[in-house]
Amino acid sequence: MSELPHPSARFDKIVICSGHMIDAPDRKTPRFPKEKAEAVRAKIAQQLEQWEIGAGDLAVCGGACGADILFAEECLRRGAQLRLLLAQETDDFVRDSVSHAGEEWVRRFHALCEKSALRFRRRRRC
């Protein structure tokens, strides 16, 4: 895992995505069927183009299969830096938020991890 840059690091723009995961195979009511992934990618790319996201910018997302991974891939393609903020340690996160969409999504998630800074949610006591 790489260290995150010092908080004083500056970026031209910061863009954040939190979207739906690809539907689990047993989901009764479709919300994000895997067949819609390329249409969602196209809309994300269109919005990033409109915002002129690229080198010098920071993209932040959770890394789950679906909108997060599509967003992260498009931001990297445009030259932005990426931070993945995972809700769990990597293996647990993959199990709960990536693997149900298939091995291709798991491969893509791990590829993003290699190209980004990672942070994990820390448990707090109340």
pLDDT in tens, 7-61: 556 899 999 999 999 999 899 999 999 999 999 999 999 999 999 999 999 999 9
78-96 mean pLDDT: 94
How many whole angstroms separate alpha carbon 10 and alpha carbon 7? 8
- Is the residue at 93 inside a domain? yes
Indicate whether 108 pLDDT > 90.
yes
Question: Residue 59 forms beta bridges with which residues?
Answer: 15, 82
What phi, psi does 50 have (nearest 5°)? Answer: -60, -40
Number of domains in the chain: 1
Q: pTM of the full predicted structure?
A: 0.87
Is 5 inside any structural domain? no
Closest alpha carbon to 106 in 95, 118, 117, 114: 95
Nearest to 56 by CA among 10, 119, 116: 10
90 within domain boundaries: yes
Which residue range forms the structural domain that includes residue 30?
Answer: 14-120
| Structural domain contains residue 42 | yes
